[in-house]
Amino acid sequence: MSHAHDNHAIDHHDDHHEHHHKDTFITKYIFSIDHKMIAKQYLLTGIFMGIIGVGMSLLFRLQLAWPEQSFKVFSFFLGERMAPGGVMTNEAYLSLITIHGTIMVFFVLTAALSGTFSNLLIPLQLGARDMASGLLNMISYWLFFLSSVIMVWSLFVESGPASAGWTIYPPLSALPQAISGSGMGMTLWLVSMAIFIAASLLGSLNYIVTVINLRTKGMSLTRMPLTIWAFFITAVIGVISFPVLLSAALLLIMDRSFGTSFFLSDIYLAGEVLNYQGGSPVLFEHLFWFLGHPEVYIILLPALGITSEVIATNSRKPIFGYRAMIMSILAIAFLSTIVWGHHMFISGMNPFLGSVFTFTTLLIAIPSAVKAFNYITTLWKGNLQLNPAMLFSIGLVSTFITGGLTGIILGDSTLDINVHDTYFVVAHFHLVMGISALYGMFAGIYHWFPKMFGRMLNKTLGYVHFWVTAVCAYGVFFPMHFIGMAGLPRRYYENTNFPLFDDLQDVNVLITTFAIVGGVFQLVFLYNFFSSIFYGKRTVQNPWRSNTLEWTAPIEHMHGNWPGEIPEVHRWPYDYSKPGHDEDFVPQNVPMKPGEEELHH
Amino acid sequence: MTSLLVILVLVLLSVALWQLTKIFDLTQVGKKGEESLVADDNDNKVNGYLSFAFLAFIYLITIYCFAYYGKFPLMSNSASVHGKEVDQLMWVSMILIFIVQTITQALLFYFSYKYRGRKGQVATYFSDNNKLEFIWSSIPAIVLAVLIFFGLFTWNDIMFINEKVEKPIVIEIYAQQFKWTARYSGADNVLGKANVRLIEGVNTLGVDLSDPNAQDDIVTDELHLPKGKKVIFKIRSQDVLHSMYMPHFRAQMNCVPGMVTQFAFIPSMTTEEMRETPEMIEKVANINKIREENSIALVAEGKTALDPYTFDFLLLCNKICGASHYNMQMKVVVDTPEDYKKWLAGKTSLVKSVKEEQAAKDAEKNPVIKDTTAVKVDTTLVAAASMK
């Protein structure tokens, strides 16, 4: 089936002389249609949004550890309106958690993670000159940029940013009378997200088309690196589920602005009966989580894809169970669209649905378990090169297991009753998708930094960054399970109104301490990242001695990626330490030796 | 204090780490022309050992949490009948995931340490093994099937209630920003119809007063339950989503405007009995110690001291519902059936309160400005007058 793509490869061969045309600053750095530049744009925007998102979490962690204390940082960052006298208000707290969730889930872990690495790696690892449509790719980035700007702008509106939680359940998110953040702030949130979804869809379609059509000669589907499989399937899930969120957002906009009643009914608020009749907030929950749950995998799969690649390369060993990995990606993708109801066991939907969703949810644990076991087996009898990227990948497997296991509790409708919406949930999803995906992103950055910027990141700083982050991540989220199981609800501004929870305050202080230390040490990464862009040591073409095609491209970036012909692929990407070869890696473009056996991976 | 300690430890740790790598770098001087930014044998060695240390850290933090925070989780001492089953299932699942966690983390970090890269070491070319794949797909599948089976069994037990057969006591839980109200269905055990459009004066729940079933309904702002009797909660909300969460009863259900949700359980312990369990005595003593310490600091600042704490069951809001979400609670009291009856008999029915209110207002006959929250009573007058 790979032969169908030969034509494309040939088509592009003749193009490469056009690279000599002059780029202006604007076409090269701003409105670039080159996938490598767009990847960098995504990364930088993502890092910027990540700083905001993580910064916010540190602010509300301070409030949680030392409730209603006056802090100079609050006065500085929140101002008099949100923190009069340096004491964070309850509405400011809700705004912070809402925007923290939104930014981290959508802007950092969806857009920046998959935007950066899908853009960078899909053409490079497939042997394509660029994405299928450079123009759409550029539009996708700039729509994402626009949505980021609107989201950040919403922080500064008079009535405060959205503050109904990142899940924006109506009626709270629909009625400004219910909470002031549901005024202008919420409108901007919805507009921003609508644009974001458009950006995401354009990006995803582009990824899908590129993977299907632009693979180089010999790059059959079962010779694709697992990164590409992950990005490809992620894009498919995105195309299936993001439109549903868009429709939910549109209906919510109508309820808010045009008096419709899709999600609202029988409401008496601020002394009057509102005119809504016949809608149901539960419908919104269904629509939201129909995206919301696949979204978890949209975040996680690219991280797992990156990890697969990084672990194989640095173990100097083929990834264990290549086909099983693909099968589990496909199984996860399919199951992810039929498990959303586990967020709604106690939403008031029919309990029978709860049974069904418990079943599908626990099913999804099986492919996830397979992936985890395969990673561990890949390490077994390897020759592990413990580069920072490798450490982050191992860290990912660790947090993925720790966080995934508690999913067995939450996915069980019976057990969910008592831990639903407590800190147990917060601990679970932060470990399994938040921290894991962040580790995946860091692994990707450390691994492909040389490819992106032609220079190396400092490894010692990388090690410090990893170990402190790893310790702090567990330090933050491990104790959190315990206060959650004590019945402590999430999204509480403070717990001082409940003497019952007084004995949990120490734990909150401990968590905040770890969070602050972990947060501060991200500065090590930022310093390493930005200084290495300019002053890092220059890299060699294939620093990690990796098999995939991106390392056959020259260090110097150019339109079309390869001078001359596109490399042809002769083997799968995981021929590490293959007996019969002199080196411990055999790039994909190296032809098979006579008599060399291609495994049925 | 703990925080200072943690910061100190972490700072020292990172300094030590930094120094360690520096020392290793120094030992490398002269061996290589130029420092490479790709991990070399020394990096592999240092980080291999650190992986092993990290495994120790994971175990230590687990042990620490169990030792110091192990008493927090609500996994025993449940105050409802079904709670015992939930707790049991929780224990089984927890032990299971704890075992898996211990083993997999050990393998992961032990391998990272054991197979750390060395010059000349060659990795085994091992890419596939159907038997292994089969084993680790089927073991989780079987284990999960068992968990699903028990989970669903318990779930059905909790969620499906045959009201005609079991005849549970019907109580309405009514949520609004930021307050809970309970409505007892009275002698007929049937709640009168209600809708937010009927909210008026003391009838804050919008009960249809013309409904015969509503005549004996009683509205209270404290929830009393009889021990050993099945209670079914019919749950409403008047404004946004809330969640009725009673952790000690292992009970939770969202409150959805525009629809009635429900949850049922049998309280198995009175408040008194719960207070006297050894776990609770210890917990309350500990909390009071903390409150005393905090009070000393407060008094020093010239503020009032905290009240000592006695345990009560609570109903808390567990779905973000607005600015004061963090303080939306109702006291829950489980009585013996006799005490429960006595308590309920002492309450006035809603119909009676409405009549009294109307009489009082009729006597006053002063048109007042409409204000819904503070002077609720007045709206009735306005409304009553306009109806005439």
ipTM given for this complex:
0.91
Q: Name the residue range of residue B251's domain.
A: 164-274+310-347
- A294 close to B (CB below 8 A): no
Judge if B259 and B363 occupy the same domain.
no
| Residues A557, A564: Cα–Cα separation, whole Å | 14
> Is the pLDDT confidence value at A12 over 70?
no
CB atoms A94 and B323 under 8 Å:
yes
Question: Which residues of chain A are within 8 Å of residue B102 when distances are taken between CB atoms?
Answer: none
- Global pTM reads 0.91
Cβ partners under 8 Å of residue A513, min gap 6: A65, A475, B2, B3, B6, B7
Cβ partners under 8 Å of residue B47, min gap 6: A386, A391, A463, B39, B112, B116
- A351 close to B (CB below 8 A): yes
Judge if B342 and B377 occupy the same domain.
no
Judge if B321 and B360 occupy the same domain.
no
User: Are the CB atoms for B315 and B251 separated by under 8 Å?
Assistant: no
DSSP state letters, B276-324 = TSHHHHHHHHHHHHHHHHHHHHHHHTTPPPPPP----EEEEE-S--STT
Residue whose tokens read 């943690």: B6
Average pLDDT over residues A71-88: 92
Number of structural domains, chain B?
2
> Is the pLDDT confidence value at A19 over 60?
no
Judge if B168 and B265 occupy the same domain.
yes
The per-type count for chain B, helices as H runs and strands as E runs, is 10, 10
CB atoms A269 and B239 under 8 Å:
yes
Q: Is B316 among the domain residues?
A: yes
Question: Which residues of chain A are within 8 Å of residue B244 when distances are taken between CB atoms?
Answer: none
- A390 close to B (CB below 8 A): yes
Q: For residue B378, what pLDDT is reported? A: 44
| Residues B372, A1: Cα–Cα separation, whole Å | 72
> Is the pLDDT confidence value at A307 over 90?
yes
Judge if B206 and B318 occupy the same domain.
yes
* Closest residue in A to B22 (Cα–Cα): A460
Structure tokens at A434: 């938040």
CB atoms B147 and A412 under 8 Å:
yes
Q: For residue B257, what pLDDT is reported? A: 94
Residue whose tokens read 């021990």: B227
Between helix A134-153 and helix A184-213 the angle, nearest 10°, is: 160
| A270 alpha-carbon distance from chain centroid | 39
Judge if B269 and B371 occupy the same domain.
no
* Closest residue in B to A182 (Cα–Cα): B322
Exposed, middle or buried, B253 (CB in 10 Å: 0-12/13-18/19+)?
buried
Q: For residue B10, what pLDDT is reported? A: 72
CB atoms near residue A223 (< 10 Å): 20
Q: For residue A600, what pLDDT is reported? A: 60
> Is the pLDDT confidence value at A9 over 70?
no
Cβ partners under 8 Å of residue A464, min gap 6: A521, A524, B14, B17, B18
Of all residues in chain A, the percent with pLDDT exceeding 90 is: 88
Judge if B256 and B364 occupy the same domain.
no
| Residues A495, B194: Cα–Cα separation, whole Å | 33
Q: What is the mean pLDDT of each run of 10 residues along chain B (388 residues)?
A: 66 74 61 70 93 95 94 92 94 94 96 92 88 90 91 92 91 94 93 92 91 92 94 95 96 95 95 94 94 92 90 94 94 95 92 89 68 45 42
Q: For residue A362, what pLDDT is reported? A: 87
Q: For residue B379, what pLDDT is reported? A: 43
Nearest Cα neighbor of B154 from A342, A361, A415, A362 is A415
3-state secondary structure of B173: strand
When scoring A82, A252, A268 by the number of chain B Cβ atoms within 10 A, the one with the most, hence best to mutate, is A268
Judge if B178 and B245 occupy the same domain.
yes
Q: Is B329 among the domain residues?
A: yes
Judge if B247 and B371 occupy the same domain.
no
By DSSP bridging, strand B169-176 and strand B231-237 are: parallel
**Residue A371 C-alpha, separation from nearest chain B C-alpha, in angstroms:** 10
Q: Is B204 among the domain residues?
A: yes
Nearest Cα neighbor of A504 from A530, A479, A475 is A479
Q: For residue B15, what pLDDT is reported? A: 76
| Residues B183, B163: Cα–Cα separation, whole Å | 18
Name B171's bridge partners. Answer: B184, B233
Average pLDDT over residues A338-352: 93
The verdict on whether omega for the bond into residue B98 sits within 30 degrees of 0, i.e. cis, is: no
Cα distances from A474 to residues A401, A420, A422, B12, B70, in angstroms, run 12, 21, 18, 18, 17
Q: For residue B3, what pLDDT is reported? A: 60
Q: Is B73 among the domain residues?
A: no
**Residue A305 C-alpha, separation from nearest chain B C-alpha, in angstroms:** 17
Residues 22-81 of A with CB under 8 A from B: 65
Taking the CA of residue A83 as centre, how many other CA atoms within 13 Å lie in the half-sphere pointing to its CB? 23
CB atoms near residue A556 (< 10 Å): 8
When scoring B80, B146, B155, B263 by the number of chain A Cβ atoms within 10 A, the one with the most, hence best to mutate, is B155
Q: For residue A270, what pLDDT is reported? A: 86
Average pLDDT over residues A77-104: 94
Structure tokens at A495: 């717990």
Of all residues in chain B, the percent with pLDDT exceeding 70 is: 88
Q: For residue A22, what pLDDT is reported? A: 66
Q: For residue A8, what pLDDT is reported? A: 46
Exposed, middle or buried, B246 (CB in 10 Å: 0-12/13-18/19+)?
buried
List the single residue in B39, B54, B256 with the smallest CB-CB distance to A459. B39
Q: Is B322 among the domain residues?
A: yes
Judge if B231 and B378 occupy the same domain.
no
Residue whose tokens read 């929870």: A501
Judge if B189 and B236 occupy the same domain.
yes
> Is the pLDDT confidence value at A6 over 60?
no
Question: Which residues of chain A are within 8 Å of residue B105 when distances are taken between CB atoms?
Answer: 398, 401-402
Backbone φ and ψ for B276, nearest 5 degrees, come out as: -95, 0
Q: For residue B94, what pLDDT is reported? A: 95
User: Are the CB atoms for A129 and A33 separated by under 8 Å?
Assistant: no
Confidence of residue A559 (pLDDT cuts 50, 70, 90): confident
CB atoms A267 and B239 under 8 Å:
yes
Judge if B326 and B383 occupy the same domain.
no
When scoring B208, B252, B281, B379 by the number of chain A Cβ atoms within 10 A, the one with the most, hence best to mutate, is B252
**Residue A140 C-alpha, separation from nearest chain B C-alpha, in angstroms:** 33
CB atoms B318 and A321 under 8 Å:
no
Residue whose tokens read 């407060």: B298
CB atoms A362 and B329 under 8 Å:
no
Q: For residue B55, what pLDDT is reported? A: 95
Q: For residue A593, what pLDDT is reported? A: 87
Handedness of CA B139, B141, B143, B146 (dihedral sign): negative
| Residues A476, A423: Cα–Cα separation, whole Å | 11
| A43 alpha-carbon distance from chain centroid | 12
CB atoms A386 and B152 under 8 Å:
no
DSSP state letters, A377-431 = HHHTT--B---HHHHHHHHHHHHHHHHHHHHHHHTSHHHHHHHTTBHHHHHHHII
Q: Is B257 among the domain residues?
A: yes
Residues A319/A323/A327/A329 CA torsion (nearest 10 deg): 30
Backbone φ and ψ for B218, nearest 5 degrees, come out as: -120, 130
- The sheet carrying B261-265 orders its strands as B218-220, B179-184, B169-176, B231-237, B261-265
**Residue B327 C-alpha, separation from nearest chain A C-alpha, in angstroms:** 6
Q: Is B266 among the domain residues?
A: yes
Q: What is the CATH number of the domain that holds B266?
A: 2.60.40.420
List the single residue in A375, A390, A458 with the smallest CB-CB distance to B37. A458
Nearest Cα neighbor of A322 from B131, B133, B124 is B133
Q: For residue B25, what pLDDT is reported? A: 61
| Residues A401, A26: Cα–Cα separation, whole Å | 45
Q: For residue B67, what pLDDT is reported? A: 94
- pLDDT tens digits for A194-205? 999 999 999 999
- pLDDT tens digits for A94-127? 999 999 999 999 999 999 999 999 999 999 999 9
Backbone φ and ψ for B234, nearest 5 degrees, come out as: -100, 120
Confidence of residue A143 (pLDDT cuts 50, 70, 90): very high
The C-alpha R_g of chain A, in whole angstroms, comes to 24
Residues 521-540 of A with CB under 8 A from B: 521, 537
Domains in chain A, ordered, with CATH? 2-12+32-264+284-552 (1.20.210.10)
The verdict on whether omega for the bond into residue A123 sits within 30 degrees of 0, i.e. cis, is: no
**Residue B100 C-alpha, separation from nearest chain A C-alpha, in angstroms:** 8
CB atoms A165 and B37 under 8 Å:
no
Q: Is B205 among the domain residues?
A: yes
3-state secondary structure of A589: coil
DSSP state letters, A139-151 = HHHHHHHHHHHHH
- pLDDT tens digits for A20-57? 556 777 777 788 889 999 999 999 999 999 999 999 99
Q: For residue B2, what pLDDT is reported? A: 61
DSSP state letters, A537-556 = PBPPSSTT---SGGGGS-SS
